[in-house]
Structure 1
Amino acid sequence: KIQSRDSELARLNRELRKQPSRASETELSFWQKEVKELAQDREMLIRERTRLGQEVAKLRPRLDALEEEREKLLAQLAQQKEEREKLLEQLAQQKEALESSTQVETVGMMVADEGGTIVMADALARQMLSVPNVEVIGQPLDGVYPDPRWAQAIDMLLAPEDGAPLSALDSGRRQRVHLALQVGSRPVHADLVALMGRDGKPDALVVTLRSEESPVEQREAIVGQANEFRTPMTSITGYTDLLLGEQGGLLTEMQRQFLERVKANVEQMGQMLNDLIRLASPDARRVELTPEPVDLITVIEAGIMGLAARFRERRLALRMDLPETLTPVRADQDSLYQVILRLLSNAALCSQEGTEVLLSAQEQEPEEKGSVPFIRISVTDTGGGIAAEDFPRVFRRFYRANQTLVQGMGETGVGMAVVKTLVEANGGRIWVETNPGVGSTFSFILPVYKEE
């Protein structure tokens, strides 16, 4: 703007020079007024530019601090993401252990430093040694089991006497002791291994515990291990929500998409943990429900809100074909929410990105006279369909096709087994129909609520 004003002043000066020397007083007054106004405008613009420059200089430290804070939060998010990958790997290993129904051996682990202080102890090890469910980190290892042989073995491994026989060494790098322990009425086999440093002294002591347990005891141990995953997941969710709320600075569209993907995967991991805990619990076969009149529209809306991040992350549209009102169904509201959530989750995971998922519901009259009407709810995906030979295994526990997208399934076998169990427990029925090359439709029916 200042340059344009300077150009205007130069132009007016040229015009004045071209004017005859006998210009009238009126013309001279007009031109002088124009030049004066332009000069005032120029001065005002210079002052405004100076003021804006000062404000930018004041804001620069704040902007730099916000940028630095955002970088720190992104670094923390990357670390949490790495931890999440490790937890997912551990969770997959736990699921594989559940799939092996014939495997009855449980393995726990404890690690102590060179001074015999516990630095790590998983839930299985604590349960096998009957250690109270308290913080054991920092406690002496020789105090967790009251047996002189246990303490002697630890002392021997961490402080070996001079002249120890070389046959006790494994490849010259570590020393091992095997003990047969008796914890209550249960035998436990313990392998204590000292990890030797380059100086020939022990750096750490690893204790591997093995126990033949009943299926109920195994399930209890796995449930305890799975529950320990919740603490780091809460931390991941908290940092992700902070970044999505732009607490660390403005986000680009790509950064927001990355964070939406992290949040969706954390929610998926939480659902997998719930499935694992539900099926590994000793009372997994007992489902206790509280039937009541349930508004399906409310439950469907809650399920959609719970999976909003996953749908955004995969750029999926959700089309709903619902009547304005639906007769309440007779069901347990919490279990019905789990059914809707898992069916929508399956559709979101297996559908092609950028496509549309259809959710529909309608009331239907029974074919037999005198029977109770029912509500049919359907979820249609674009996952390419399910092979006919895989139909019997869709709702089977602990089964998942090796190539999920090809098979048209997004949820694990655990999740769909839970869906089938809950639908049938509420007096309904569930089935799947497929359109090869296009997608599948999961449908279930529930009876409407009728007052006695």
Structure 2
Amino acid sequence: MAAAVAAGFIPPALVLIILAVTEPVSISWVVAALVAGGVAAGWSTLAVVRVWASRAERIEAVAASLEKHEPPPHLIPDERDAMGRAERRLLDAADAVADEMESLAEQRDEFEAILRSMTEAVVVTGSRGEVVLLNEPARRMFALSPDANYNGRDFVELCRDPRLQEFVARATASGGGQVTSAEIALQTPAPRHVSASAAPVRRSGAGGAAWVFVFHDITQLKSYETQRADFVANLTHEIRTPLSALYGYAETLIRGVDDPDIARRFLGIIEHQARRLSRLIDDLISLSDLEHGLTPLKLDDLDAGTVLKDAEELMREQAQRKGVELSLDCPDNLPPIRGDRDRLHQVMVNLLDNAIKYTPRGGNVVVSARAATSAPPESRPGVELAVSDTGEGIPAADIPRLTERFYRVDRARSRELGGTGLGLAIVKHIVQLHGGSLRIESRLREGTRVTVWIPAAAASVRSVATGTEGS
């Protein structure tokens, strides 16, 4: 500013000095020189102020952009003075900050995309245990609102389950900088098994480490492990029982039995147990092939009534020996179904065998069929094949597990009746391969009804559709 003022007064002063050397200077010339110098100084000062104001506005625009996390406006600094060089340094720093902010934004977007795609529940807490971030699976696992903001809340207050609270406290108190892992059986808000891990995240300039908690729901895996263990235990028992009988009676016969009737009875028991082992092995092979897709279906358009009649005729003798009345209820106008004749015959025989076994003497077993559509939203045309009995019924809690391998409601009675415990599991897989459905309904001391729905043949579906359009 002083330089601008001096630059305005120096030319008039020089003029006065020159005039004073050559001749006396009047007051009017002095006044004129001063006025001219003041005007020149004012114009110079105004020009400098305008330049500084313009530069100040540009610098403020850069600062405002940085505060808003936006790219700064482009500057063209004049590096001929100190202010221009300062502007250049500011511009370089602003560009570096903008690049870093853009990189951080990209990393944040990638991190959020990873969190959204993860099936595991992830919770990030601060050094004091306050929630910094949690993804959608974490909200579902801990029954938290999908829209509420839990940032700043204590994570221990949100998880609620005592076992999980103990794990969080143990992990954060370790202070060793290592990952802590554990399997936890949660009861709150819902029973489930969780594989939990906690890892510290060191932060520069912070009072302590942040923590990343990852929770993987292994409830289904635990269920599979339980089923596998049950399968091995049941299979071992199923094989050991007939083998023990075979070994014991064979050893007795080798030692010699004087009574021919006793010997024949022992041989009959050996034959019965051998057949039981054979049925068990056949069912295991059949079930394994079905589960692994090794049994291709030979699909044909079938008459549902014929499938039921063949199964009913095969099982009639067994029903008569048991003293159970077996009846068939099948209308003549059923639509044809698309299926494998042998496999559907196996389904009906297994269902009738179970019904006859568990129906007391004097009871009734009815095998029936009717046209029916599948459950919404598909509502496809098809046929329901059902087997109903007047047995003791099945408790409601056991019905969902009836199609599990070797599952029995009454184990002792089932083994006494000679079942392998695989029949309904085989039925379920055959029905699923046909694109059908299986439904089991039962009431204690009233009886059980097992219904199999099989889709109608394509020709029947087309005829039904044509008839509907024509009407």
Interval containing the TM-score (normalised by the shorter chain):
0.3 to 0.5
TM-score, L = length of structure 1? 0.40
Higher RCO structure (Cα 8 Å, ≥6 apart): 1
Rg: which structure is higher?
2
TM-score, L = length of structure 2? 0.38
**Greater fraction of residues in helix:** 2
